[in-house]
Structure 1
Amino acid sequence: MEDTNKKTIDAYEVSIDQYILNTPNKRGAVVEAWIDKAIKGLAQDAQILEIGSGYGRDATYIEDKGFHVEKTDATQGFVDILVGKDPTSHTLNIVTDEIASTYDLIIANAVLLHLNDEQTREATKKIYNALHSQGTFAFTLKQGEGSAWQTNKDMAPRFFNYWHKKDVVKILSDTGFTSFDAWVDETDSPSAIWIMVVARKA
């Protein structure tokens, strides 16, 4: 079976400069509203894990609000950048690694969309088990059919898996999440329709 996870991580490794160059430094209003919803009600000392931090754009937004984010990525090149800003940053591949601690919030923006269906289900279980009671899991996916390899942003080919909201809701429910908001937004990016999710553990 093709290892889409490894190939996608390898694509990021060889295309980091292109990714940073072609990714806006400023988050769109929709992403900021989604993050605000995820962190609402958290204590300032909340334990927050970000999966797939990239070069730290979303983490910076959260930390500017007074929180600390444990920043991780599966791509070593991104981890090297993150460590330069925060020595506690580290490597985490949600497909192959276990989550060693427990958290009040786990956030993953445009990360699970690189996983196939089974990997997404297993990753969701790992994340659920790594949340404190009443913990929150916030993530985004792209809406659509099937899967594809894409070379956008002048990068090496990356695997993308597409979803419909009803299927995402089923995975959350099957995993054990009892409260979740999932909505579709197509205003923040002309090239994609995004599924935005904030799920809470009982």
Structure 2
Amino acid sequence: MSSEALAKSRQTISSYEDYAERYDTIVRHVPNESGQASLKRLVALAGKGGRILEVGSGAGYDADFLESLGVTVRRTDATKRFLELQAARGKQGELLDLLIDDLGGPYDAVLALAVLIHVPRDQTDQVLAKIEGSLRPGGAFLASMRNGDGETEGNCHTVLWRRDDFASRLEGAGLVLLRDDFNVGRNSEEWNTFLAVKPA
């Protein structure tokens, strides 16, 4: 990994350390209807009692919802402050940096919502290969990505992907795309959510 890519990643994590409590206030709710539907599809593939790795748990509300559906979630984040906020609610998470840490596994599913948008474009294939390698055969992967071209600079580096381009990255990592959904989020941001599986 280039020193520039690592520096951008560190800067993004640092910005979330400062922003975590405000972010927590903004997103403090159960997932919306389309989000719940996506998570339910993930659980259906993982199976009851399944073990799910969540990368970038943030405030932890998606994990709360998943656990209510009968699966076990390994909550992880690269931002210490998010883990502290979860701990204050009695939820245990672990520090994990997707770019440099081993993911463990095999998992029944991996969840990465609004997380891979912070992975440098030239590191995306390596990260997806790492995720694929952490899944059991038949395991599922759910990810949401900002739709668009280019990337944003500043404290919180964000990479945008067109639907077809990211779908081809998933397939290049050996994952089979089952479905994708488009929605418009806060601040009129466009998002694509991808559900893929590792062939059994």
Q: Give the TM-score of the pair, scaled to structure 1.
A: 0.89
Q: Does the 8 Å CA contact 1:165/1:183 hold for their aligned counterparts?
A: no
Q: Which moved more, 1:31-40 or 1:16-25?
A: 16-25
Note the C-alpha offset of 1:30: 1.6
Contact 2:180 2:195 in 1 (8 A): yes
Q: Which amino acid aligns with 1:28?
A: N
Structure 1 vs Structure 2 CA RMSD: 1.7
Work out whether 1:171 is the aligned partner of 2:176.
Answer: no
d(CA) in 2 for partners of 1:79, 1:167: 32
- Equivalent position amino acid for 2:91 in 1: D
Q: Which blocks of at least 5 consecutive residues in structure 2 are unaligned?
A: none
C-alpha change, 1:28 and 1:149, in structure 2 (3 Å) is farther
Report how many aligned residue pairs link the two structures.
194
Secondary structure of 1:40's aligned partner? helix
Q: CA deviation at 1:134?
A: 0.3
Per the alignment, residue 188 of structure 2 pairs with 191
Instruction: Write the distance in 1 (CA, Å) between the matches of 2:46 and 2:131.
Output: 18
CA distance, structure 2, for counterparts of residue 198 and residue 189 of structure 1: 22
Answer 1 or 2: which has greater helix percent: 2
- Tell me, what secondary structure is at the counterpart of 2:34? helix
Cα drift, residue 11 of structure 1:
0.3
Aligned to 1:61: 65
Q: Secondary structure at the match of 1:66?
A: coil
Aligned to 2:31: 27
Shift of 1:45: 1.7
Provide the identity percentage.
25
Match of 1:7 among 1, 4, 11: 11
Matched residues in 2 for 1:21 and 1:171: separation? Answer: 33
Higher relative contact order (CA 8 A, sep 6+): 1
